[in-house]
Structure 1
Amino acid sequence: MRMSRQGRLFPAVLILAISLFAVWWLSAPGALASGKNSESVNLRILWTNDMHGYLVPLYHREPFEKDYLKQAKKEGKIGGWAYVAALINKYRSQAPERTLLLDAGDSWHGTGVALFTKGAAIVKVMNALKYDAMTPGNVDFLYPKEEFLKRVEEADFPVLAANMYDMEWGDPAMPQYIIKKINGLKVAVIGIAYQWTAKTGNREYTKGWSFGLREDEIRKLIKDIRADDKPDLVVVLSHMGFKVDQKYASRVDGIDVIIGAHTHDNVHKPPVINNTIVVQAGSHGKFLGKLDLKIKDGKVAGFDHEIIRVVSKDITPDPKIKKLIDDVYAPYKKKLSRIIGETKTMLFRRDTYESTMDNFITDAYRDMSKTDVALAPAWRFGLTILPGSITVEDVYGMVPTEEPLITFSIKGSNLRSILEAALDNVLDSDPYAQLGGDLIRFSGMKLLIDETKGFGKRIKMLTVGGAPFDSERQYTVVSANTQMYNAPSAEKVVNTRKVAVEELIKYIEKKKVIAPKLDGRVKIK
């Protein structure tokens, strides 16, 4: 009121003062709110995805990096959370009042230290970096349920999963979303966990929980959030996979950004589908994702995107995070650094149909178990081991679980059906039908496939142990970290109580020198 009286006495001065105040207010950080301005507001999102527990740098070959030995010699190791942290600090410090740090899952599991601490070491690092939110990936559930819930409790940031439900009561089992107020904006962050989590992991660890795509529930949730919370931006943290994210964006309205994970895609040019920006930043700490958004009137008016390669030798690690990592490593360093053998060839995991690492693993399982066939999961995660010494830590990077070797027998016709279903997971044209992995890994069989055929018709030739496949024969199988023994057709199931990773360590120690190679166990017609 006092100002109004002065205005009546000094109208010109008042008008000038109001104009100057308006200019200052509009330019102040956080001054603009949804629907109340005609100017854009900036927001930066930094994110990680599919870190897979790799606290320290590693070698990591991609399927398209055919001359990786040469590249590794030049580039050195990539990733390492202290090095990622240095980049986070750099880009967050440029705009601390308008930067979010998010994670799209598969971060708590994948290495020896992660396994020994049941993910607690990773949560400590994420807490120190002050993440704002994450959604869990499928491998984050590869711990007993009580351990997973402890990690959620220990996290200083919300762990979100809007598609995860309690099967007994039908209620959400995790927080579904948060509203983050930053730089004058209201940002809704929704989490969507891997849709097939209950199918692909140890079912005891997710017993009582259901997942799925849940399009209808997510549509309603977004509608309610937009009506009740009136956010300027809706961000989905998704662990569904890059192709699934794109289809999801085309079918579910109201999402501004999907920060994806699971399929380890290096997305340099993000697609925009149904007004939704879809991004993903590789895996294993190879990249830090950065998305700069301009928000105007509750909509994205423009964006700049970059995934920043983390070449460890070119970055000074964050000293606080490095010390934290050194401290969590200390109790296990002697065990993990022990040299157990040598490889003459490079062990790598990622490729659609076979890899030197998984050829070695399945060959070893079959050799030590004396079965007809060995099976292993089509994991995408894992380090690359260059020719030279093999350590205990390397083997835990290959098989980072304490799951046992399990033997069973199965009729030939049912074994073929399993292989056809596994091929469909890779080749089905509908992303919703894919589990997002490569072909199941195996030893003792050879396949000739026709990728152009439909479900159940892709296998053109199958041999077992060098002999023609017999649909009536009972074949013996050994597997670890798969659910094949749960198939109704599996018979004579035996839990050997032998921990697969420990047996691999003994196997390498006994062999002393290994030289795995690609041998064409899958050929394309």
Structure 2
Amino acid sequence: MEKIHIYHTNDLHSHFEHWPKISRIIRDRAKENREAGDEVFVFDIGDHVDRWHPYTEGTMGKGNAGLLNETGYTAVTIGNNEGITLPYDGLDTLFEKRSYDVLIANLYTKKGQRPEWAEPFKIYTTAAGTRVGVIGLTAYFAHFYRLLGWRLADPIDELRRQLPSMKGQSDVIILLSHLGLYEDEKIADEFSEIDVILGGHTHHVLHEGKLVNGTLLAAAGKYGNFAGHVILELENGQICSKSARLYQIEGAQPERWERNETEALFAMGRSLLEKKVAEVESLTADFFIDSDLPQLLCEALREWCDADCAFLNAGLILGPLEGDVTKFDLLSVCPHPINPCTVTLEGDELKEILRMTLDESLPHIEVKGLGFRGTVMGKFVYDRIEVLEEEMDFLIDGKIIEPEGKYIIAIPDMFTFGRFFPQIVRSENKYYYMPEFLRDVLEWKLNRI
């Protein structure tokens, strides 16, 4: 009999308040398993990086890569936060100093070559001679990768290309999947040769795993609320038992040294971002009443994108600014990995969307995901858009909207996803400005006023 322990994490999103405990649990249990003569693998399934945290922003994710090193990871794949919230050079140098493998089968340079730091899959051989093949795949945001200079292949097509080679070299096949639960279930149905899928991206929690067509699916939620553990038992090189469990981290009282470590990461990140970038008089911010900073950001967004008009939600700005402004201050008031975007709409479409922004319930809606790192939507703010409340009509740059006219509107890219504005989501006339975030646009504007 042979026993293989697999520890896995996913979608930490730089929530380092849980990281010291996760790291200790994995290191301690891995040590115990190895002392018992068992095999151990440790994998991360992506989105460990999230640039809302000053340590991640200050190190451009390299600090996260170092934490994975210290914990003793075997291999990682990337999520969309590593892939499309870092500039090209940021991702290309993210894993320069690492002792683990980076497995990502569907990522290529724009010339069609694999990055030097990544492999599609890796075959590991245990002390008992079992060959464990591990492959990584990331979510198919091909358009955004292309804007940053990468080429992303369809993950399922890439899996079909790689599996035949893996099967001939592996006794056990494991997929590191930053694709989401729905895709994982489809893969398990189609590719029965995959023994274990370690999942992420959709933040699903599988307390005891899930068997689909004989494949064990495992996932540990988000933000480090759980750490995952899969156990494989093999006899004569064949799996005879597989099980999954989660260790709950959320709610566990941190030890003093764990709090100290979490606080140290924040302080280190803050010190890296204490570079003065502007000096301003008092600029107010409020989610529900007119205030300076949301309006300034809206003007900056329109100017940056050279658009006809702009609108955004005040909830994007989390606080005021006054006096000397540093990179840390900008991150604090605008932590979102959200890019500027334009959408071209006909006049009738634009008027319908603007009427939707006047819905009195919208400012109080809690927003999660879509790159948003705040709490509520907040009131809508406009630039070069005048609201004629009595007529429920609008002027663009002082002129009546022509029903069939074409208008370029600057917006945060979060409006191109989700359920708020279906017309924008469906539009094929969108352009994303990358790799700049809204806080970069705000910094640019502050230096011009």
Relative to structure 1, the CA distance from residue 317 to residue 135 in structure 2 (aligned partners, 3 Å threshold; closer, same or farther) is: farther
Q: 1:246, 1:404 → 2: CA distance?
A: 31
1:150 aligns to 2:89 (yes or no): no
Relative to structure 1, the CA distance from residue 465 to residue 506 in structure 2 (aligned partners, 3 Å threshold; closer, same or farther) is: farther
Tell me the residue number matched to 2:120. Answer: 176
Relative to structure 1, the CA distance from residue 240 to residue 490 in structure 2 (aligned partners, 3 Å threshold; closer, same or farther) is: closer
SS of 2:205 mapped into structure 1: coil
Cα drift, residue 133 of structure 1: 0.2
The number of residues matched between the two structures is 377
Relative to structure 1, the CA distance from residue 443 to residue 323 in structure 2 (aligned partners, 3 Å threshold; closer, same or farther) is: closer
User: Could you give the per-residue CA deviations for residues 227-260 of structure 1, whole angstroms, max 9, x where no partner exists?
Assistant: 1x2x231110011011111112111231001101
> Which consecutive residues of structure 1, in runs of 5 or more, have no partner in the other structure?
1-39, 58-78, 346-355, 386-390, 420-435, 446-463, 508-525
The residue identity in structure 1 corresponding to 2:125 is K
TM-score, structure 2 normalization: 0.67
How does 1:289-368 map onto structure 2 within 5 Å? 289-311=228-250, 314-316=253-255, 326=264, 329-330=267-268, 332-333=270-271, 366=298
Q: 1:183, 1:167 → 2: CA distance?
A: 39
| Percent of aligned pairs with the same amino acid | 20
Relative to structure 1, the CA distance from residue 126 to residue 208 in structure 2 (aligned partners, 3 Å threshold; closer, same or farther) is: closer
Cα drift, residue 396 of structure 1: 3.6
User: Could you give the per-residue CA deviations for residues 145-179 of structure 1, whole angstroms, max 9, x where no partner exists?
Assistant: 22212122222111111122345346687301112
1:51 aligns to 2:12 (yes or no): yes
How does 1:233-252 map onto structure 2 within 5 Å? 233-252=172-191
Tell me the residue number matched to 1:477. Answer: 409
1:104 to 40, 45, 50: 45
Cα drift, residue 399 of structure 1: 4.9
User: Could you give the per-residue CA deviations for residues 270-303 of structure 1, whole angstroms, max 9, x where no partner exists?
Assistant: 2211211111111111111111221234443223
SS of 1:288 mapped into structure 2: strand
Q: 8 Å contact 2:227–2:249 — kept in the other structure?
A: yes
Cα drift, residue 214 of structure 1: 3.1
> Which consecutive residues of structure 2, in runs of 5 or more, have no partner in the other structure?
275-281, 303-308, 320-325, 355-367, 382-386, 395-400, 417-423
The residue identity in structure 1 corresponding to 2:231 is D
Tell me the residue number matched to 1:411. Answer: 346
- Give the number of the structure whose residues are more often strand, by fraction: 2
1:115 to 57, 60, 65: 57
Tell me the residue number matched to 1:87. Answer: 25
CA radius of gyration, larger in: 1
Q: 2:285, 2:32 → 1: CA distance?
A: 45
TM-score, structure 1 normalization: 0.58
The residue identity in structure 2 corresponding to 1:306 is R
1:186 aligns to 2:124 (yes or no): no
How does 1:200-239 map onto structure 2 within 5 Å? 200=144, 203-205=146-148, 207-215=149-157, 217-227=158-168, 229=169, 231-239=170-178
The residue identity in structure 2 corresponding to 1:316 is E
Q: 8 Å contact 1:232–1:299 — kept in the other structure?
A: yes
Tell me the residue number matched to 1:28. Answer: none
The residue identity in structure 2 corresponding to 1:261 is G
User: Could you give the per-residue CA deviations for residues 366-391 of structure 1, whole angstroms, max 9, x where no partner exists?
Assistant: 58869563389xx9xxxx99xxxxx9
Relative to structure 1, the CA distance from residue 100 to residue 280 in structure 2 (aligned partners, 3 Å threshold; closer, same or farther) is: same
Q: 1:41, 1:394 → 2: CA distance?
A: 53
Relative to structure 1, the CA distance from residue 156 to residue 480 in structure 2 (aligned partners, 3 Å threshold; closer, same or farther) is: farther
How does 1:343-492 map onto structure 2 within 5 Å? 366=298, 371=309, 373-374=311-312, 396=331, 399-400=334-335, 405=340, 410-412=345-347, 444=380, 467=392, 472=404, 477-481=409-413, 489=429
Q: 8 Å contact 2:229–2:244 — kept in the other structure?
A: yes
1:41 aligns to 2:29 (yes or no): no
The residue identity in structure 2 corresponding to 1:134 is V
Q: 8 Å contact 2:337–2:437 — kept in the other structure?
A: yes
Relative to structure 1, the CA distance from residue 468 to residue 397 in structure 2 (aligned partners, 3 Å threshold; closer, same or farther) is: same
1:138 to 71, 80, 98: 80
Relative to structure 1, the CA distance from residue 163 to residue 342 in structure 2 (aligned partners, 3 Å threshold; closer, same or farther) is: same
Cα drift, residue 210 of structure 1: 2.0
The residue identity in structure 1 corresponding to 2:88 is K
Cα drift, residue 213 of structure 1: 2.2
SS of 2:106 mapped into structure 1: coil
Worse-superposed segment, 158-167 or 401-410:
401-410
User: Could you give the per-residue CA deviations for residues 74-100 of structure 1, whole angstroms, max 9, x where no partner exists?
Assistant: xxxxx2x21211221232232034221
